[in-house]
């Protein structure tokens, strides 16, 4: 699953800029374990840094029990690699925040409270990212690939009764993004 690590690392690297430091957030938004002590406090802001993920199998089981589906192994690997506030826009797909103290709440809020359940969850769609500013990127639990992983679809909030195929799996989606940026 090296491509998933490369994707996260490349995304974080591309956030670095001498002109604008995206790594600064309001103090209350930075979990203590993600504070970058090497950078000074700035006004009421602290610098964040990506850290090794603290996600455990029992954390994942908790989420899976709530949603009623098992996450694909490639997505579990992604969640267990690193925590971050955001990733650079390497494509139209903007994965949800993955902070050490709130990642479960972010996922559950997007799944259960982000959009009407009848448009997303009740149709077997489990969101894990935004698609530009008009939709969600979701696991389609009604479409399994030959490896037993859910296919990836984009759900458009303006055409909520349909979705568009994006990739055969989470891994394939990440692989395609990385192929397109090199």
Q: pLDDT (tens digit, 9 = 90+) per residue, 105-125? A: 999 999 999 888 888 999 999
- For 125, the 3-state DSSP assignment is strand
Task: Pinpoint the alpha helices (H) of 32-112.
Answer: 57-67, 73-79, 103-112
Confidence band, pLDDT 50/70/90 cuts, at residue 40: very high
Any idea where the domains of the chain sit in the sequence? Answer: 51-181
Confidence band, pLDDT 50/70/90 cuts, at residue 20: low
Assigned fold of 51-181: SMI1/KNR4-like (3.40.1580)
Would you tell me how many other CB atoms lie within 10 Å of the CB of residue 17?
10
Choice between 160 and 155, residue whose per-residue pLDDT is larger: 155
Q: What is the pLDDT of residue 53?
A: 98
Q: What is the pLDDT of residue 19?
A: 65
Task: Pinpoint the alpha helices (H) of 20-115.
Answer: 57-67, 73-79, 103-112
Contact 28, 35 (CB under 8 A): no
pLDDT average, residue stretch 41-57: 95
Q: Structure pTM?
A: 0.93
pLDDT at residue 182 is higher than 70: no
Determine the distance from the C-alpha atom of residue 7 to the mean position of all C-alpha atoms in its chain, rounded to a whole number. Answer: 12
Task: Identify which of 25, 151, 4 has the alpha carbon closest to the alpha carbon of residue 99.
Answer: 25
d(CA 8, CA 65): 26
Would you tell me how many other CB atoms lie within 10 Å of the CB of residue 36?
15
């Amino acid at each position: 699953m090296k491509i998933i690590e490369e994707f996260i690392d490349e995304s974080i690297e591309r956030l670095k800029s001498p002109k604008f430091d995206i790594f600064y957030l309001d103090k209350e938004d930075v979990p203590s374990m993600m504070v970058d002590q090497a950078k000074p406090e700035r006004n009421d802001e602290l610098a964040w840094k990506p850290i090794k993920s603290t996600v455990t199998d029992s954390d994942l089981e908790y989420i899976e029990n709530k949603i009623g589906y098992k996450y694909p192994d490639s997505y579990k690997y992604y969640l267990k690699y690193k925590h971050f506030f955001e990733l650079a826009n390497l494509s139209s797909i903007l994965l949800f925040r993955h902070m050490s103290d709130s990642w479960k709440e972010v996922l559950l809020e997007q799944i259960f409270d982000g959009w009407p359940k009848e448009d997303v969850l009740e149709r077997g769609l489990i969101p894990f990212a935004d698609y530009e500013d008009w939709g969600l990127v979701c696991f389609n639990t009604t479409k399994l690939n030959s490896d037993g992983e859910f296919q990836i679809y984009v759900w458009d909030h303006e055409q909520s009764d349909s979705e568009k195929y994006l990739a055969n799996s989470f891994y394939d989606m990440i692989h395609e993004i990385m192929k397109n940026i090199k």
